[in-house]
Amino acid sequence: MSGRKIYSFGALAVLGFFTWFLTEPIEQKGDFPEIVKISLRDVGNQLLLSNHDSTSLILPVVELGDTKFELSFQHQLTFEPGMLVSIVNSAFQKSGLPENYIVEVIQCTDHEVAYSYRKTTNQQTTIIPCVGRFLPLNCYTIEVNFTDMNSGFNKQSLLYIPGAFLIILLGFQLGRRKRVAKMGEGSVINGAKKSGEFAVIGSFQFYPEQNKLVKSAVEIGLSRKECELLAIFVTNPNQIIKRDELTKRVWEDKGVIVGRSLDTYISKLRKKLQSDDAIKLTNVHGVGYKLELNT
DSSP string, 177-188: HHHHHHHHH-EE
CA 86 to chain centre: 38
Per-residue model confidence (pLDDT) at position 152: 44
Half-sphere exposure of 264 (CA within 13 A, CB side): 6
Taking the C-alpha atoms of residue 29 and residue 46, their distance in angstroms, rounded to an integer, is 28
**H/E segment holding residue 68:** strand 68-72
Looking at the structure, do residues 192 and 288 belong to the same domain, yes or no?
A: yes
Looking at the structure, do residues 144 and 196 belong to the same domain, yes or no?
A: no
Looking at the structure, do residues 29 and 142 belong to the same domain, yes or no?
A: yes
Contact yes or no for 292/273 (Cβ under 8 A): no
Specify if 177 maps to a domain: no
Domain holding 132, by residue range, is 25-152
Specify if 35 maps to a domain: yes
DSSP secondary structure letter of residue 58:
B
Looking at the structure, do residues 143 and 44 belong to the same domain, yes or no?
A: yes
Looking at the structure, do residues 57 and 117 belong to the same domain, yes or no?
A: yes
Specify if 258 maps to a domain: yes
Taking the C-alpha atoms of residue 84 and residue 81, their distance in angstroms, rounded to an integer, is 5
For residue 233, what is the domain's CATH number?
A: 1.10.10.10
Please state the φ and ψ torsions of residue 135, each to the nearest 5 degrees: -80, 135
Specify if 169 maps to a domain: no
Taking the C-alpha atoms of residue 291 and residue 239, their distance in angstroms, rounded to an integer, is 7
Per-residue model confidence (pLDDT) at position 31: 86
Taking the C-alpha atoms of residue 280 and residue 293, their distance in angstroms, rounded to an integer, is 7
Q: What's the predicted TM-score (pTM) here?
A: 0.45
Each residue's pLDDT, cut to its tens digit, for the chain (295 residues) gives 444 554 555 556 656 655 555 555 544 445 899 999 999 999 999 999 999 999 999 999 999 998 999 999 999 999 999 999 999 999 999 999 999 999 999 999 999 999 999 999 988 888 888 777 899 999 999 999 999 765 444 445 555 666 666 777 676 666 655 554 443 444 444 444 554 578 889 899 999 889 999 998 899 999 999 999 999 999 999 999 999 999 888 887 665 555 678 889 999 999 999 999 999 999 998 899 999 988 6
Taking the C-alpha atoms of residue 143 and residue 80, their distance in angstroms, rounded to an integer, is 17
Per-residue model confidence (pLDDT) at position 94: 93
Specify if 82 maps to a domain: yes
Specify if 91 maps to a domain: yes
Q: Which of 102, 135, 152 is the last residue of a domain?
A: 152
Taking the C-alpha atoms of residue 231 and residue 206, their distance in angstroms, rounded to an integer, is 9
Per-residue model confidence (pLDDT) at position 160: 60
Q: How many domains does the chain have?
A: 2
Amino acid at 59: L
Per-residue model confidence (pLDDT) at position 251: 82
Per-residue model confidence (pLDDT) at position 53: 92
Burial of 224 (0-12, 13-18, 19+ CB in 10 A): exposed
Specify if 172 maps to a domain: no
